[in-house]
Homo-oligomer: A and B are copies of this chain.
């Protein structure tokens, strides 16, 4: 790891605050106060697909009624999840969300989104348009009909979830979309006919119209010049993109700092926030390098190993430190909290039996320790001031039995006054 990574993280992610604590408008001079961080500004994300049954009260114990709160493995997993993450991605794959036309799974997804927002998390929907796992019934429609129902679908979901989900992967993997040739599907058909940029414009317009304050992402796995060319064409066409999504499924091995920063630098040129939308690092055997489509590799057994777990923990630290060292990266979403989810790979922070791996403890040590300000007693000076340095995010200060909150939103030095 470059020796200055930690320095860059401090530069881009922390603020040196001078906090004046007042009560009734007067400085609280020479008193003990306690400053504590409550939340990170950086979006530490993970998929939350596993929590749909829990959030909807669908879990039952064998031969009994619904589980009592806090007793089952799902609830223990939820505790683990919430101790690491503040940003959940929920599944809106059209083929699963609305397998039968006209019967979308809106209610269950709303319950799940609310479950996360009630716990202080931001929620993102993924994806509103994609050629994979799209609704099979699209192929019975004409291209103009597919386009119409795709746009209607976007308006419906973005409207139905506004206030719970205000961040969306609007369209996924457009670089390959019109030439995807593994099977026929409605999205490839319309993307080929309309062209990539007109389709991107339509789906972003539909989402923007349904929720003007939403954060709308373009997302892709293609880290080549192809994605750059797509982005440049989209921006040149005047389409507003709020953040660029970069996938980083590292089933074939950790990219390393140099490659990762090279990619971030290339996509940071557009001046847009960057989200690492889909990150995986394995704690078992790697996928062979010759596999092109990750879906093609699904071995009968894919175990997590002790050596693999040590490697994964090390790579998690290196990867997260690398991302936070670059100011353009605003979010990273891990793909699969628990082993054996997507593709059966041992990519989780938690083993299939629910026990945390070394990678879990390693990330927790960053998020809740190295990059975190625990409740910290300080004495104010004669002007009611305390000085501290903390990672950007939400804080509270307690004094004289009262507590007030404030935020550190910009790196560098800052002065704030907080009335308790």
Contact = CB atoms under 8 A, between A and B. Distances in A.
Contact of A233 (B179, B225, B237, B266): B237
A192 B269 contact: yes
Given A230-B233, A236-B233, A237-B236, A225 B269 contact: no
A144 interface: no
A89 to B, nearest CB: 25
A40 to B, nearest CB: 32
A269 B191 CA distance: 12
A198 B237 CA distance: 12
Contacts of A237: 233, 236-237
A288 to B, nearest CB: 16
Contact of A175 (B178, B225, B269): B225
Nearest to A174: B229
Interface of A is mostly: helix
A179 B230 contact: no
B225 A176 contact: yes
A195 interface: yes
A233 B226 CA distance: 11
A357 interface: no
Contacts of A175: 225-226, 229
Interface in A175-226: 175-176, 178-179, 192, 195-198, 222, 224-226
A372 to B, nearest CB: 37
B232 A196 contact: yes
A381 interface: no
A195 B231 CA distance: 11
Interface in A226-251: 226-230, 232-234, 236-237
A32 B241 CA distance: 71
Contacts of A226: 175, 224-226, 228-229
Contacts of A198: 236
A225, A228, A233, A269 interface centre (most CB from chain B within 10 Å): A225
A175 B175 CA distance: 14
Nearest to A222: B225
A176 B229 CA distance: 10
7 contacts: A175-B226, A195-B232, A195-B236, A196-B228, A225-B226, A233-B233, A236-B237
